[in-house]
Amino acid sequence: MQSFAQTYNPICINRKVLLDAFRYFCSRINKKPGYGLRISSYFYYLWLKIEIILMNKPQITIKDIARALNVSPSTVSRALKDNPDISRETRDLIHAYAREHNYKPNVLAVNLRSSRSNTIGVIVPQLVHHFFSCVLSGIETAAAKAGYNIIVAQSNESYEQEVKIVHSFLASRVCGVIASLAKNTEQYDHYQELLNNDIPIVFYDRICTELKTERVVVDDYAGSFAAVEYMIQTGCKRIFFYGASPHLEITKNRRNGYLDAMKKYKVPVDDSMIKLCDNRERAIAITPDLLESDNRPDGFFAINDETAAGILYACKLVGLKVPDEVSICGFTDGAIAQSTDPKLTTVEQHGEEVGKSAFGILTDKLNGHEGKSTNKIVRTNLVVRGTTK
């Protein structure tokens, strides 16, 4: 088998024809009595060995094409770029050979020669989250139109994983990074390392204010203010706020929108009405006791739809009617908001627009368009459904 592999260059083997021939030969031998089975088994083994060789054959290179067609590597390189200095006949021949043998350019080699890649790293806290998947969709759409590649990595809300991702982006020589912070990220040395290597960053949603970078955020304050104002105007007098980690900018802005709406309408607020709760499980755990207290809430504004859905479930557990006895509003407007019963009132974030804007700002910076705005606020809107009056 070794001598076969050395004698016949895998690049020159027509895989389909060879394997079809072996299958046919084995089927014919199998019909012979006695020794046929042993010979068939041997040739089937030989076919599997060749199959393995072909499956693991290396990608052909420009030098391989040049050697096969008896031209110089520079001729192949220019022909693949459709350089008019190469005759149409030669270009067609080289393109045909490249297609037949599944030639793919070595992107890493191109990046090394140009000292710049065409790849952007994207960090997503949670791919299953509707908002982040929408942001990613916006980035992918914009990148495809602009001819950029993207590498997507999920931090899974882990600072340690986020650091590893950034280091892998450095090793991959990405030209820029679009990122949203994990919930527990409070140190930013890994991002500073990107900046030290002249790799620009655009933060979205959960941003870092301690580094000089570009940012794209939704108007968290205005969205929260509008939601709480609507709840007050429809009769709520004791609205609780369920928020995320207090160091996150989105928590600060949404809490401030909540507080200012309550202040505008002179609705009293105390510390007991602001809870650290940003997921369904915790909402189900802490809400029933609040609902069964003497001074129970008649409204909840949650930092995301997942948490709002947990509150709705807790209301059903204790037998309270939504929205007749309790109003609930979330923030995101994903699939969860339209799958609950009743459907959630929520604040729409426009994730795809966030993704496209982040990509646009990053590529403007990469292309030296310094005159354009480096920060953007995407407007939100309140979507009223069945969990509010």
pLDDT in tens, 316-336: 999 999 999 999 999 999 999
pLDDT digits (tens, 9 = 90+) for 259-280: 999 999 999 999 999 999 999 9
Interatomic CA distance for residues 19 and 51, integer angstroms: 8
- Report the DSSP beta bridge partners of residue 216: 204, 376
Interatomic CA distance for residues 327 and 323, integer angstroms: 5
- Is residue 162 one of the residues assigned to a domain? yes
Q: Answer yes or no: pTM beyond 0.75.
A: no
CA distances 315 to 289, 309, 323, 333, Å, are 10, 10, 10, 20
- Is residue 279 one of the residues assigned to a domain? yes
303-326 average pLDDT score: 97
pLDDT digits (tens, 9 = 90+) for 204-226: 999 999 999 999 999 999 999 99
3 confidence band (pLDDT: 50, 70, 90): very low
183 confidence band (pLDDT: 50, 70, 90): very high
Examine the domain organization and report whether 180 and 326 are in the same domain.
no
63 confidence band (pLDDT: 50, 70, 90): confident
75-79 average pLDDT score: 88
Domain boundary among 105, 131, 164: 105
The Cβ-side half-sphere exposure at 218, using a 13 Å CA radius, reads 26
Q: Residue 157 is part of which domain span?
A: 119-218+353-377
- Is residue 330 one of the residues assigned to a domain? yes
Tokens of 103: 């030639």
pLDDT digits (tens, 9 = 90+) for 112-159: 555 557 899 999 999 988 999 999 999 999 999 999 999 999 999 999
Interatomic CA distance for residues 122 and 135, integer angstroms: 10
37-46 average pLDDT score: 50
- pLDDT at residue 35 tops 50: no
Interatomic CA distance for residues 337 and 330, integer angstroms: 8
Examine the domain organization and report whether 75 and 128 are in the same domain.
no
- Is residue 382 one of the residues assigned to a domain? no
- Is residue 5 one of the residues assigned to a domain? no
Count: domains in the chain: 4
